[in-house]
Structures are given as structure tokens and as C-alpha cells.
Structure 1
């Protein structure tokens, strides 16, 4: 009888015991091939103090600044922020792996680079860039200032940003979610074992980086990232020579004519939109295209014909009591309607899923029949 309570006594090098049933041998061998944790079986999980290293925070700071610029660019142009978990984990792995290789060649390496340290970097970078978006830097934070109020001809109420209250506001925005996230993590991820999409995908990616085959794949991915980064940078540098103001050059190319250009139908040759379009699902791209046609092609020209009837004829187009007011409040109403629909839809599905999970956990166990197979055991990865 071996340590796992099974007969056979001889333990193979692969970590599985001999079993008289050849089917079980094949199943175990297949599980060993598919197992990720078998690769890290001999590696000790470092303590949390060894995971929070100086090099991790240095790389996190540099990447956080870079990603904050990217998020601000996307926030002020497309308004769509894709998930940056994969790129943060990839760049964090590349920089620290290069760092540790240089130290290893010089004989100064004291601590090997682990996947836990990689996760710390990815978490810090995503959290920092997330604050850039959720903190409202591209929308309401500076939209409350006096400069923006003057542009809308409404200087009666404004709030100029200052570091004091901005720090307090961002602290509340960032840390208030901990009071709901911690109990939800316990219930949904640990107890009910619900799949967390972006976290699961990032975990598999970081695990693959730290395997021998994954390290080679990561090197290819970084090369591809650098190649397309260079092409995009050079194209942006080329466009800069043809940009004399805000509304000229390749960023505002009147592809459909000057009449259509008046209603914002022009072509932007920026590669940012191509990249975001490739990352986002196709339904998002179609939705944006249809929304642009319906709003700028139909609704605003029709409402503009009611000038002097629905709103004052002498009001400028940027005034909230004129055409701009129709744009803003119709858009807000559509966003709130769609958001509430998705909220109740997701809430209903979540409650239904949790109810079924509770019923399954509270169901009485059925006695095993001699002819039935043994209950399914946890895989090695799930045990880890």
C-alpha cells in the first residue's frame, strides 16, 4: 500500500503509481501531459515577502506609466478600453526575465524569477492603468473644471481639480470595492469554483511563460509586439509632418467629401483604432459603426432642421440648451437603458446559477453501486 492508499507499491518517476488497469494508466499519463502544475511540482511556493521584490515594483512602475498613457489615449479617442492583462503579463515577464538573465551571467542573481512575482507585476500594472480609466481622467474629472464650463457657456457651477480631493476621491474609488470583492471571491471563486474569465486566461498565460516551451513562445510574442510597435510608431511619426492643427492631416481625412465631413464622417488613419478593433469583439465594432450612422447621419441632421422650433435659433451648437443638449441626454438615456437591462440580466443569471449550485451541494449523496465507476477525484492541478 503506497502513501495514496492504493495498491501497487512501486511509484514511477512520472509521479503516478502502477495500476493493474491499463485504462487508468493511459488516463494518468494523459493527465500528466495536460497538467501544468506537474512542471512546478519541485518548486517551492515563495512566501509573500519574497514575491514583493524591488525589481517587481520597479518594472511595475515603468509599465504602469506606459499603460496609463495608452489608456488615456484610448479614453480620449475611442472611449473603449480593452483588457490589458495579457500584454501586462507578457511585458512584465520579458523585462524581468531579461534582468535576471543578465544578473545570472554576472553571477549576482540571488532570487529566481517566479510566476508569483510575474503575477504581482501584472496586478500592479492593471490596477494602475485601471485607475486611469475608472478615475475619470478622460471624462468627468477634468470635465468639471472651469475651462470646460466656459466652452459650454455655463460658468455657474464648476469644480477645478486639485491634488488634495483627487487623492481622496481616487482612494475611495479604488478601495471601496474591496469590501464587496473579498466576500464575493470566497463565495464565487473558492466555494462555487466559478470561472473568472480574464483572471483564468492570465493565469494560464503566466503559467505557460514559466515553462521551457512557454519561454520560447513568449520570446516570439515579444518580437511580434516590438515589430508592430515599431511600424505603428513610425507611421504616427510620418503623420505628424502633415498635422498643422486639430482638424487636418491623416487624422481627419475627408474620405466621403466635405459635406459628410461636416457631420463627422471622415477617415482616421491612426493605428490605434485598428488595434482596438482587432481586440474588441466584432459586435462592438458593428455597434459603433451603426451608432455613428444613426446619430451623425440621421438623428442630428434631422434635429438640426428643428432649429428655432425645438430650441433657440441663436444658440451655438455647443450649448447644452441647444443641439448639444439633445445629443448628451439622448446618449445618456440609451446608455442607462442598456446598462440597466444588462445589470438585471446578469443579476438574474447569477442568482439562478448560485441557486443551482447550492441545491447540488445540499443534495444527499447516492450510495455507490458495485457496478458503477468510482467518484471522480480532483485532478492534480485542482489539488494544488
Structure 2
């Protein structure tokens, strides 16, 4: 998928990776699921391209855009009279306290989404809004209490909170708790159909997970620090997500923006309470397997058996309100194609294509078709977009270097006024961005020291991974980190999980298949994702700090602190889920963790090859692999009016294994948003993202007390279950024969 912060933000911006009133020019960074974040990013990128073409055709729209850009360029005039605090005054104790609180809250939400479907919308705007609200309320309370020495709440401090929260909750995704780490467990291994091999199993443990994350999560931060000036000032990369976040924070700290933010927070809080209460109410009816509203056969029992039902999930209704319409339709289309057509046809081949006496979870049966065809779609889509982004990145980089070499000096600030960016704002921002430098020698020394420690310690955590596997990864990683950060600045796409999948296949094939090659591939995936994703995240933060006058040092320090928080909070949250829900990772359970099985089978393919696939599965996989590339190519070549109706293969792949039920939830969210846009478009743009965030956050946070109740042995008192009429007659007859109490 994509890095945690490459999904769409949720509140004021609705872009490739964020949400800004559905404006394609504004994007805010976010955590992204392995499958859907890339699809969302790609759809938003296409929207930006279509909008750019439309503006190019219309002179009036071009003038409007120029006026808008002129207004944006005057942002620093609004704040000109305000003193910019030093970097130490930006990283305050109250900012870190709020960051820890929000980071833990969003880690719970991301973890729940990780372990259910893997679709993770951006919660960045929620973090920015709630951080603004909490710190504003805190300063006002102290002021009313007569505390005269309260430091004013600034946009730089708001940026620190945003950065710290996203870095913390981002570890909940990039840490692999729903993918490569959980894929190592015996629970996922048993589902993969492979012969049990203790060398290829490593069960989760709080100690080694925290240690592993601390070892691998900081290298990416130090790898791109020396490139910050080149990326932000010399190359003037856009970083749409970082730019959108900056615009959002800047607007919060103007009188009009603060008023709107308070109204949005109020709306978010209202739907947070409603969603939390609905989750609490549903819990009472889940006193057994297959009980509760989640098992409500809304479309009939036969449709329910094929995963077609509405499960009353506030989370995915909210996700549907945020995601582009095409993403939601693509998810539903994938569900109809697989569970409505393909799987029933393949099940009729039982006994011919695959043995009829297999266990339901065996990959040599119907589950094998579901998993491997889904993987083929993901890999085909990922390969196409990897090549596309790398081609664009390489071409743009070569042109940029040639242009710079043809000039006498680098185009830093005030380069002759030849471009519209050389404004008062840019000069002011460049001056402060270059003021608080992070010594390059410090960054390089820290990278080398941490790499040496990691090379020595990671093989002790995963004995299947040799020291030279880790060493080669750390030699290659800075180059890949630069490519990912540069490409993210151009396209807003993070390819971190794509690089992780490449590590699975390369290291898995390199390692000894008989001595834990599967674990070696999965561990290498974690090492690579940890480096590459944090590199692009930090560069996005530098762009945000550049536009809010936040010091690069405060950005770097807050990113480091947020990452450290995440290395403790995220494993602890996963451990809570793991202990509270004993069927976690099991198909059909409340938390099936589908990505874990996908990653496990990628590692198996890397080590063992394709020989274990059921009959005709390889032919189908090749067909869908080619189809994913063809659909993406058609989307890029077709006219805009046609391309917007072509589905997204990455989004279609998700329900191939899970089923379409959550796609139905998301389409209902889309329908709500569509009707709201038609009835009151202006209000929908301003308040639909806060409403969606409230639904997601309330339902997600309910998981925390639900886990505590499960650990305490408190069980729901009622089981609401639905039976066919004939089955119910038998049940009633059986109950009638029981002795009365």
C-alpha cells in the first residue's frame, strides 16, 4: 500500500493523501493501509491532473488561480507582526503531552483498522483540529485561572503536535502489526497451508517488538536530513500533503480559521459520542460466535453466506465519506466480481480443481484462489505504479539538475524574481528554514552508529536474518529513501510498502529456504519499510515546517519524539488486542488481519516459488496481474471522461479475500456524502470530514474499553443471531424438550 502518511487527511482537505474541502490542490499527510492508501493517492493524483488541464483551458480559471496563489503568497503578511519563537519554545511540554494523548488515541484506531480490513484513511486533520482545540482550551483555562506566564499557543507549536501525533500513530501501521510482524506467527502460518516449521515461526512478544521498532524506525530520519535544503528550497518540491497541512495550520491561527475549527471540533465531538455509544450498544448483543449487528443478514441469508451484508459499522461508513467515490465503487465491484461470480464458480470445481476434503483454511483449496489472485492484483498494480513513479521521478530529477547546472547559482531565495514563488513569503520562510540547521555530520554519524547497532542486534531478534542481509539493506536504503522522498514530493505517493515487498522477495530468495527464509524475508520487509517510510514522512514535515515558520530542528525533534512514543505505544496497543481477542487473525473473527496472510504468502512465494498453488490458480493469477497493468495503463491513456469510470485494481483486490461487506458500508458512506453535497454543498465540504472523523474515532476508541472488558472476563449478556425459518423450527423444538429451570 503506501506509507502511513500517504492516505487522505480527513477533515478540511480531501486530497490524494488528505482532505481539504475536496480541493485537489491541498493535501495533508496521513497513514495509509497496504492496499487502499495507494489507490486513494492515485485517484487523487488523477483528480489533480484533470483540474490542472481544465484550468489550462480556461483563461478565467487561470486568473482565478493566480489570484488564489497571490492570496496564499500573502500568508506571512498576516503573521508579520508576530514573533517567531525559538525551536526550544516550539517543542513544549504541553505540546508533547497532547501529542502523547492523541498519539495513543489514533494508534488504537489505526490498529483496529489494520486488523480488520487494512483500509486506513488519513486522520491528520483530526489530529490537527483536536490538537488546536486542546491546546487553545488549555491556555484559556490557565488564563482564566490567573496564571499570567502562560506562553501563547502558536502555529509552530501546532505544527509540532501534528508532526508528533502522525509520527506516533504512523508506527501503528508501518510497524507491521497487521502485516509482516503478525505474518510471522504460528496462527497465520497454520492458515497458509505450509508444513509447520519452527524456523519459520516467530510469535509476537512485547519485548522483541519494541526493541525491533526502536532499532529500525530511526534510520530513515537521519538518512534524509542532509537533503532537506535540496528538497525543499533548491528543488522546490511541492509535497502536496505537507503543503496542505501547513495551509490548514496557518488557517487555524487566523480569527476566521479559528472560528471554523471550533465549529468543526464541535461537530466531530458530537458524532464521536454517537459512534462510541453505538459501539457500546452493539456490544450487548455479541454474547457468542456469529452474534450481534455485525451478523445481521440485511440482504438475506444466502447473500450473507457470500459476505454481502451491511454490518452497521460506523467506522467504514465514515471511511466511505472520506474516500473518493471511485475507490468505494471499486471495492464493491471487486467484491461482486469475486464473491458474487468467481468463487461460486470455482467452488463448483471442488473435487476437480482441488481436493474436496481439505480444511476450510487450506491454501490448496478455495482460499488459495482468494489469496493469490488478490496478491496478483496488488503486485500488478504496484509494479505499474512503481515504474510510473520512478520514471517520473528520474525524468524530473535529471531535468532539475540540468537546469541548476545551467545557472550560475542555485535557485535558493530571491533568485532574480524569475518565478512567482520568489515572494515575501518565500524569502521569510527560507530565512528561518536556514537559520536552525541540523549538522550533517551529526546526521551521518548517527546513521552509521544506528546501522552498526542494528546490524549486530537485528539478527539476534531474527536469527534467520543474517548480518549481511541487514548490512546490504542499510547500504541500499539511503538511495531508496531519497527516491521515495523525491517521488513523494512530486506525486504525493509513498512507495514504502512496494520497497518492502521487493525486500520480501529478494531476501527471501537469498536466504536459506530450509532455515527460516520466510521469517528472513518478512523481517527484511520491516527493515526496509521502517527506513523508507519515515524518510518521506520527515521530508513532508520539513515542508510543513517551512510553510509555518517552524524550525527544522523542532520538526526533527518532534518527529524523533513521536517515533519513540510510537515504538512503545503501538506494540502495547497491539499486545492489548492480541491478549484480549483470542481469535485475532482467524478468518471470520472480529479481527481477521487479512494482510498478515497476504504478506506470509508473499514470503512463501519468494522462498518456495509457485509450485504450491492449486490447479489453474497460476493461470488466473497471471491473467489478473496483466489485467491490473492493463487497467492502469488504460486509465492513464484514456480521455478524462472515460478514465474516471475505470476501476482501481488495488481497491478491487481488497475484498477478494475478505468479502464485499465493508464495501457496502463504504458505499453507504459515499451515498450520504453525495446526497449531502447535492443538498448543501458548502456545508458538506466544511463538515463532512469532521463527521466522518467522529464516526471513525468514536467506533475506534470503543475498542479500548471493549478490550479491557474482554481481559477482565466480562462477557456480553445477549446473543442476537439470525436463522432460517426451517432451522429455527428445529431449534425451537430442541429448546422445548429441555427441562424447565
TM-score band, normalised by shorter chain:
0.7 to 0.9
Structure 1, 211-220 or 236-245: larger mean CA deviation: 236-245
What secondary structure, in the 3-state scheme, does the structure 1 residue paired with 2:75 have?
A: coil
Which of 145, 150, 158 aligns to 1:118? It is: 158
**Residue 110 of structure 2 corresponds to residue 71 of structure 1:** yes
Q: Secondary structure at the match of 1:125?
A: helix
Whole-Å Cα distance in 1 between the matches of residues 233 and 72 of structure 2? 26
CA contact (8 A) 1:78 1:273 kept: no
Q: Conserved in 1, the CA contact under 8 Å of 2:191 and 2:363?
A: no
Verify the 8 A CA contact 2:73 2:425 in the aligned structure 1: no
**Superposed CA offset, 1:240-265 (max 9, x none):** 33333342332122122222211211
For the 8 Å contact 1:71–1:81, the answer to whether it is kept is yes
Larger radius of gyration: 1
RMSD (Å) for aligned C-alpha atoms: 2.6
Give the 5 Å matches for 1:284-323.
284-323=327-366
Structure 1 residue runs of 4 or more that deviate by more than 6 Å after TM superposition = none
The Cα shift of 1:356 comes to 3.1
In the alignment, is residue 156 of structure 1 matched against residue 200 of structure 2? no
**1:382 is aligned to 2:426:** yes
CA pair 156-362 structure 1, distance change in 2 beyond 3 A: closer
- Map residues 260-275 of structure 1 onto 2, 5 A cutoff: 260-275=303-318
Residues 158, 249 of structure 2: 8 Å contact kept: yes
Q: Does 1:215 align with 2:258?
A: yes
* TM superposition shift of 1:68: 0.6
Q: Residues 200, 356 of structure 1: CA spacing in aligned structure 2 closer, same or farther, 3 A cutoff?
A: same
SS in 1 for 2:153: coil
Q: Unpaired runs of 5+ in structure 1? A: 1-26, 366-373
Matched, 1:106 2:150: no
User: Between Structure 1 and Structure 2, how many residues are aligned?
Assistant: 350
Q: Partner residue of 1:35?
A: 74
CA distance in 1, matches of 2:354, 2:127: 49
Alpha carbons 2:73, 2:424 under 8 Å: kept: no
Pick aligned residue for 2:92 from 32, 45, 53: 53
Deviations 1:2-55 (A, max 9, x none): xxxxxxxxxxxxxxxxxxxxxxxxx99x95796221222122222221112111
Aligned to 1:225: 268
CA distance in 1, matches of 2:115, 2:171: 15
The alpha carbon displacement at 1:148 in A equals 4.0
Residue 337 of structure 1 pairs with residue 375 of structure 2:
no
TM-score if structure 1 supplies the norm length?
0.83
Give the drift of 1:274: 1.2
Query: Are 1:174 and 2:214 an aligned pair?
Result: no
For residue 191 of structure 1, what is the aligned residue in structure 2?
A: 234
Q: What displacement does 1:328 show?
A: 1.7
Q: Identify, as 1 or 2, the structure richer in helix.
A: 2
Match of 1:132 in 2: 172
Kept in 2, the 8 Å contact 1:32–1:38? The answer is: no
Distance 1:47 1:74 in 2: 38
Distance (whole Å) between structure 1 residues aligned to residue 301 and residue 182 of structure 2: 32
Query: Residue 125 of structure 2 corresponds to which residue in structure 1?
Result: 86
Given that 1:85 and 1:198 are in contact with CA atoms closer than 8 Å, whether structure 2 keeps it comes out as: no
Alignment deviations for residues 329-358 of structure 1 (CA, whole Å, 9 cap, x no partner) = 221122111111101101111222223333
- Find the aligned partners of 1:348 and 1:186 in 2 and give their Cα distance: 23
1:247 to 2:286 alignment: no
The structure showing larger relative contact order (alpha-carbon pairs under 8 Å, at least 6 residues apart) is 2
Work out the CA distance in 2 between the residues paired with 1:328 and 1:261.
20
Structure 1 distance, partners of 2:117, 2:71, is 45
Q: 1:119 to 1:375 in 2, by over 3 A?
A: closer
Distance 1:364 1:74 in 2: 49
In 1, Cα distance between equivalents of 2:281 and 2:88: 47
What SS does structure 1 have at the residue aligned with 2:353? coil
| Superposed displacement of residue 144, structure 1 | 2.3
In the alignment, the residues of structure 1 paired with residue 112 and residue 207 of structure 2 have an alpha-carbon distance, to the nearest angstrom, of 25
Secondary structure at the aligned position of 2:358 is classed as coil
Q: Distance in 1 between matches of 2:143 and 2:363?
A: 62
**Structure 2 stretches lacking a partner, 5+ long:** 1-65, 409-416, 429-741
Deviations 1:126-165 (A, max 9, x none): 1111110111112332332234444566543421122333
- Name the CA shift for 1:92/1:364 in 2 (closer, same or farther; >3 Å): closer
Residues 41, 317 of structure 1: alpha-carbon distance in 2 compared, 3 angstrom cutoff: same
Residues 185-220 of structure 1, C-alpha deviations (whole Å, 9 max, x = no match): 433322111211111111111111111222111111
140-149 or 186-195, which deviates more: 140-149
